[in-house]
Chain A
Amino acid sequence: MKRFMTVIAGLATAFACAAPAHAALRVLACEPEWGALVQELGGPLVDVSVATTALQDPHQIQARPSLIARARNADLLVCTGAELEIGWLPVLLQQSGNAKVQPGQPAHFLAADVVPKIEVPTQLDRSQGDVHAAGNPHIQTDPRNIALVANALGARLQQIDAANAAAYATRLQDFQQRWQQALARWNAQAAPLKGVAVASQHKAFGYLYNWLGVVEVAVLEPKPGVEPSVAYLQQVLTSLKAKPARLVVYAAYQDPRPSNWLQQNAGVPVVKLPFTVGGSERAKDLFGLFDDTLERLLAAGTASK
């Protein structure tokens, strides 16, 4: 029995000595949009790794060994919160052995906490599908939310890495300046989308629609997270006869088949939105994300007028 303990102690010492010294602040971002935002606000001061890609469903990620290793080494965790990561983040944190990034610690940053949330359910019951008690967690689809999160995240970076606080402050100011200019441009560009009726595959774009003044007339999923059957799509089709949609929208990580079905049977053009950074060729960063989102919506939304 003693032998085992000696081996453990020996190996632990060996690894502890071999630990590489990182100068940059190691940040683990749960979703690509926050990875991109931390990169904007931290630049060379941060070493960012992102737990998921734009082609993965952020609700359903497995607590893979690589993610546990990255949670263990993180100086800061940046996630959406609002229960989006409830199926996997708690396991990462429990197994990480990293006291810094546990819930409630300064290095545990949840973006949804600083944003007013929509679609907060009045009734919590799993018979309603994959509902989030805190409201719709897909906050990154509204650029005004990005601005709010940037302010809070910038402040958090200054708090955690106090030695570089001034540099973070400068970068935040610079980002906000560029972001507000871009926002003004997007607002102007998006004017024709106001009042356009759309159908969505998943209730993932509520914030985007709020921003653009787009009206969601139908959702293809019968309940959040439940894939629609053909019978249900028929019902949606019937309801669309009364309230026609000009577009049907789905996110890059989703299976396009329900949306394609609607296109074939109702002639409604399908728009695949990047949803987050990396969701399309052009969505390389946060600016590209909204450039591309608007361009795709405008192309399909105005062409079929």
Chain B
Amino acid sequence: MRHLFPAGLVLAFALHATAAHAADDLASLRAEMQALRATYEARLQALEARLQAAERSAAAQAPAAAAPAAPMPTPDGAAPSAARTAGTANANSFNPALSLILSGLYTRTSRDPADYRISGFARPADAEIGPGTRGLSLAETELGFAANIDPWWRGSAAIALTPDNQVEVEEAFVQTTSLGNGLSLKAGRFLSNVGYLNPQHAHVWDFVDAPLAYQAFFGGQLGDDGLQLTWLAPTDTLIELSGELGRGRGFPGSDSASNGAGRASIALHAGGDIGTGHSWRAGVSFIDAKARDQSLFGLDAADAGIDSVFNGRTRVTVLDAVWKWAPDGNPTRTNFKLQGEWLRSVRSGLLNHDPAGANLDGDLRLVQNGAYVQAVYQFMPRWRVGARTEWLDAGSAQYSAGTGLLGADGFKPRKNALMVDYSASEFSRVRLQFARDQARFGITDNQVMLQYQMSLGAHGAHGY
């Protein structure tokens, strides 16, 4: 009985509504008819377009078809070819998105790059430091693959083919797509999310080479094998927190091959818009890496090589900030980008030091820092100019086995660079860069680099 009352009410209301809004119903019926008509018009339009396309292709094929056979109506003639097309489409439609980056360089330096060192920064022999080779050379060719794996994972790999015919796995990772709540987990080899420039591939950099600070503190760029957990806060301003554990493959780690992690890092980034024209991102990152029997090579004041072996930990702090501007937020014509990063490295542990056969062991504590600031301005479509200034401070080592460790205490390497680049489209870029490099004690190296970077294949979407 209790259900009847509300039911009656609803019925009464419905009847009332029918009576009162009959006119409205008529209008809405009319609207529905019109909507139907619009739908059919659009469909007709599509059919017309397809008919026209079919007529065009038929017209194009007609002369070719007329020669071999009489123009007989073959009703099943078209069917097998259509089926074939569909078949091949199915066979490769799950292929990953493929992209290829082609890049080459002409380098002219006033000093021999074979002797290139950053004075006061003893580094492993495989660290990517300096302008590389002189003359015409191929830069890294990068092959990229990316696709969804299943509803829960996606995968991506970047394989670098080096100019000396080596294959390097630059990145190869799987990443969750389904965790939700702003979380995503990455596993494999990837560029660490520390700083601003580090997670970017070299082909999207605004200058030919990595800043000196990246060369000195990360041996070029910090990539590692491990895990990365990223979380975005549910806020309108971007707040991104990421933590990584890795084996510490590259400098400042030494690929410890222990059961534990050789490197851990944490990065906090925030970013947002100011009006429609401005946007920014800033962050702070900490890296803690272990080194075991890490062979280092440096130069003393007399340009004599010094070998040393480091055991201990390195903690690096990175502050990064970037600000971008474009009129009305439309970067197509003109835009401006200012970015800077400051890095500080603290190495503490045991150093075995071997100047002139004197085998010294001692406790080391070395604080070094460096920074760069760069600005890039697109002053007209396709053309950009940029300037970068950078400096390092070699610091002075506290070394229990003696002072004047590397003969370059307190040395402050400097480098300034100017570049201009031209992009015929978003897929190609040619860049000219001049740099005055004072990374070597008492030496000024004038570097001229001419570079092309082109991308083929899948349309890669770029980060901020």
A62 touching B232, Cβ below 8 Å: no
B264 touching A1, Cβ below 8 Å: yes
A66 to B175, CA, bound (A): 22
Does A94 make an interface contact (CB < 8 A)?
A: yes
A7 touching B266, Cβ below 8 Å: yes
Query: Apart from A173-B31, A180-B35, what are 16 other A-B pairs with CB-CB below 8 Å?
Result: A1-B288, A4-B243, A56-B330, A57-B330, A65-B272, A66-B272, A68-B232, A69-B271, A69-B272, A73-B234, A86-B459, A89-B461, A91-B462, A126-B425, A144-B42, A180-B34
A102 touching B45, Cβ below 8 Å: no
Some 6 contacts from A to B, beta carbons below 8 A apart, are A64-B279, A66-B238, A89-B461, A97-B182, A120-B53, A148-B42
Binding site for A on B (CB under 8 A): 27-28, 30-32, 34-35, 38-39, 41-43, 45-46, 49, 53, 57, 151, 154, 175, 177-184, 229-241, 243, 245, 260-261, 264-266, 268-273, 276, 279-281, 286, 288, 324, 328-333, 381-382, 425-427, 456, 459, 461-464
A94 to B38, CA, bound (A): 37
* In the complex with contacts A1-B261, A102-B178, A66-B331 CB distance below 8 A: no
B461 touching A12, Cβ below 8 Å: no
The residue on A at minimum CB distance from B175 is A94
A88 touching B330, Cβ below 8 Å: no
A147 to B35, CA, bound (A): 7
Within 8 Å by CB of B237, from A8, A63, A69, A177, lies A69
B31 touching A55, Cβ below 8 Å: no
B232 touching A53, Cβ below 8 Å: no
* Total cross-chain contacts (CB, 8 A): 201
Does A260 make an interface contact (CB < 8 A)?
A: no
A53 to B239, CA, bound (A): 24
Within 8 Å by CB of B182, from A91, A98, A255, lies A98
B279 touching A66, Cβ below 8 Å: yes
Provide the residues of chain A in CB contact with B332, threshold 8 Å. Answer: 57, 60, 253, 255
A8 to B266, CA, bound (A): 8
A88 to B331, CA, bound (A): 13
A65 touching B180, Cβ below 8 Å: no
The residue on B at minimum CB distance from A12 is B231
Does A299 make an interface contact (CB < 8 A)?
A: no
CB distance from B442 to the nearest CB of A (A): 41
Within 8 Å by CB of B239, from A8, A15, A16, A180, lies A15
What are the nearest 9 A-B pairs in CB distance?
Answer: A65-B271, A116-B46, A180-B34, A177-B31, A65-B238, A99-B180, A69-B238, A55-B328, A97-B182
Provide the residues of chain A in CB contact with B273, threshold 8 Å. Answer: 64-66
CB distance from B192 to the nearest CB of A (A): 13
The residue on A at minimum CB distance from B178 is A99
A1 to B253, CA, bound (A): 14
A255 to B328, CA, bound (A): 13
Binding site for B on A (CB under 8 A): 1, 4-5, 7-8, 11-12, 15-16, 19-20, 52-53, 55-57, 60, 62-66, 68-70, 72-73, 83, 86-91, 94-100, 102, 104, 115-116, 118, 120, 122, 126, 129-130, 144-145, 147-148, 151, 173, 176-177, 180-181, 183-184, 210, 225-227, 253, 255
A179 to B61, CA, bound (A): 43
A129 to B425, CA, bound (A): 8
Within 8 Å by CB of A210, from B45, B234, B239, lies B45
CB distance from A174 to the nearest CB of B (A): 8
* In the complex with contacts A53-B276, A116-B43, A180-B38, A97-B179 CB distance below 8 A: yes
Provide the residues of chain A in CB contact with B45, threshold 8 Å. Answer: 116, 210
A151 touching B426, Cβ below 8 Å: no
* In the complex with contacts A62-B331, A148-B39, A4-B461 CB distance below 8 A: no
A225 touching B266, Cβ below 8 Å: no
A214 to B384, CA, bound (A): 39
Within 8 Å by CB of A102, from B177, B280, B456, B459, lies B177
CB distance from B17 to the nearest CB of A (A): 13
Within 8 Å by CB of B232, from A96, A100, A184, A227, lies A96
A70 to B41, CA, bound (A): 37
Provide the residues of chain B in CB contact with A255, threshold 8 Å. Answer: 332-333, 381
Within 8 Å by CB of A97, from B230, B236, B425, B456, lies B230
Provide the residues of chain B in CB contact with A63, threshold 8 Å. Answer: 461-464
A184 to B35, CA, bound (A): 11
Provide the residues of chain B in CB contact with A102, threshold 8 Å. Answer: 177-178
A148 to B35, CA, bound (A): 8
A20 to B270, CA, bound (A): 18
Provide the residues of chain B in CB contact with A144, threshold 8 Å. Answer: 38, 41-42
A60 to B462, CA, bound (A): 11
Provide the residues of chain B in CB contact with A68, threshold 8 Å. Answer: 232, 238, 240, 271, 464
Provide the residues of chain B in CB contact with A122, threshold 8 Å. Answer: 53, 57
A69 touching B333, Cβ below 8 Å: no
A176 touching B32, Cβ below 8 Å: yes
The residue on B at minimum CB distance from A56 is B330
A145 to B462, CA, bound (A): 30
B461 touching A116, Cβ below 8 Å: no
Provide the residues of chain B in CB contact with A177, threshold 8 Å. Answer: 27-28, 30-31
A120 to B56, CA, bound (A): 13
B426 touching A87, Cβ below 8 Å: yes
The residue on B at minimum CB distance from A57 is B332
Provide the residues of chain A in CB contact with B281, threshold 8 Å. Answer: 65
CB distance from B424 to the nearest CB of A (A): 8
B31 touching A87, Cβ below 8 Å: no
CB distance from A62 to the nearest CB of B (A): 6
* In the complex with contacts A65-B281, A97-B231, A145-B31 CB distance below 8 A: no
A151 to B42, CA, bound (A): 13
B31 touching A72, Cβ below 8 Å: no
* In the complex with contacts A65-B238, A94-B154, A8-B231 CB distance below 8 A: yes
A73 touching B462, Cβ below 8 Å: no
A87 touching B461, Cβ below 8 Å: yes
A64 to B233, CA, bound (A): 16
* In the complex with contacts A60-B331, A97-B184, A1-B238 CB distance below 8 A: no
Within 8 Å by CB of A116, from B42, B178, B328, B464, lies B42
Most B CB contacts (10 A, CB to CB) among A65, A72, A180 go to: A65
* In the complex with contacts A65-B238, A97-B230, A88-B461 CB distance below 8 A: yes
The residue on B at minimum CB distance from A64 is B279
